[in-house]
Amino acid sequence: MHKDIEVAALSISEYDGSIQDIKKVFSLQHMPVGTVRAGILDGKAFRKWWKGRSIPASRNGIKDVLEALNVDHSLLLIEKSMGLSLSDQYWIKPDGSDIAWKDVNYFDNAFSEDIGDMLFGMGRVSDDLDLASPDNTSDGVLKKRWKIINDGRYLIKGGSGQVMQEPFNEVIASIIMNSQGIDHVRYEMMWMEGLPYSACKDFITKDTELVTAYHFCEQVPRRNDESLCGHFCRLCEEVGMDPSPFLDRMLVSDYLMVNDDRHMSNFGLIRDAESLEYLGFAPIFDTGTSLGSKAVTHRFEESIPTECKPFKKSFKEQIGLVTDFNWMDFGALESSMDDVGKVLDENGFIGNERKEKILALLSDRMRELSALV
């Protein structure tokens, strides 16, 4: 289902939750972006899209949750919540059911926090366990969950390793992008049981959906003489959108943050779920894996990555794709460093030595960038 539009009749494996058979397609137009090419459904691409909807096996803590639930595959959890997500409007309706979208979608209706509690190591299996949650369709390897806060839908994400720097990085990226007027998802720090998390409000509504750059580019084969960036830009222009201002700002922010994880599923476009019209580019999100988050403090400088994603292998090459720097305000960027320092000081979680090295890294990137302008 796509909202209340019947899209396809499927049979789903009771063993591993995969799509066994695509029995009939009712609306090719409303199939997920990237699963139809030249007017023909690509069954392999559709199954890959479905699998990508599940919690990855690499997610921190998912193995323990599956063992506790006596579930062999995380794909099986999708059916427990009817495939509902807070990133788009796709779902699965049991054959013969008269359930309507308005009665089940998580934008309007409450959802269980049981699976989220278990993913965060705070819940246990019980007879009244309710697995109806958008947490079943959340991707990424970091610990994360959805919560309803003041009637808003918020994504809570944790960090990795002993330093758990990723939540701090999300907030720092928000500060930097805000100083430059860049459209972005605003992250705030949240502390639970003494550990840092980032929290952001869902930027998708019940009427819109996120189309990742990966799926957007999968619609049409890339030409032999075309770069990945050129392919993405061409498809954007074909739907009436100028990608240059968006890409300039994303590449600059990633350069400043030394973000080495801007893969093609970490940015994208927003479209109307009913008209299927593209409304604009998604605000920049998911900048946690940056600023040497994986580096050991005493070897911080030599551990800073030089390779990046998605268009070039090195930051030096990728920043060369920026077409215009005139929108940048280096004065505001410099002034934002005070707020960055305050974030790193919060609760004393990031040690002073690491804090000074992170601030020095940001200052170095700012100087390098100003030399290019």
pLDDT (tens digit, 9 = 90+) per residue, 113-146? Answer: 999 999 998 877 787 889 999 999 998 888 999 9
pLDDT (tens digit, 9 = 90+) per residue, 40-90? Answer: 999 999 999 999 999 988 888 888 899 998 888 899 999 999 999 999 999
Q: pTM (2 decimals)?
A: 0.95
CB 253 within 8 A of CB 287: yes
CA dist 148 and 202 (Å) reads 10
pLDDT (tens digit, 9 = 90+) per residue, 63-73? Answer: 889 999 888 88
Question: Between the CA of residue 293 and those of 283, 296, 297, 304, 345, what are the distances in Å?
Answer: 22, 8, 10, 9, 16
CA dist 66 and 120 (Å) reads 13
* Residue 221: burial class (beta carbons within 10 Å; 0-12, 13-18, 19+): exposed
What pLDDT sits at residue 110? 96
**Nearby residues of 310 by Cβ (< 8 Å), 6 or more positions away:** 213, 228, 262, 263, 264, 266
What pLDDT sits at residue 128? 82
Please give the full DSSP string across 231-249, using - where no structure is assigned.
HHHHHHHHTT---HHHHHH
CA dist 143 and 65 (Å) reads 12
* Amino acid identity, position 174: S
CB 43 within 8 A of CB 25: no
CB 72 within 8 A of CB 66: yes
Q: Is the pLDDT of residue 249 over 80?
A: yes
Longest C-alpha distance within the chain, in Å?
64
pLDDT (tens digit, 9 = 90+) per residue, 12-28? Answer: 999 999 999 999 999 99
Counting other chains too, the contacts that 352-357 makes at CB distance below 8 Å and 24 or more residues apart are 353/297, 354/163, 354/297, 354/300, 357/292, 357/297, 357/300, 357/301
How many other CB atoms are found less than 10 A from the CB of residue 120?
21
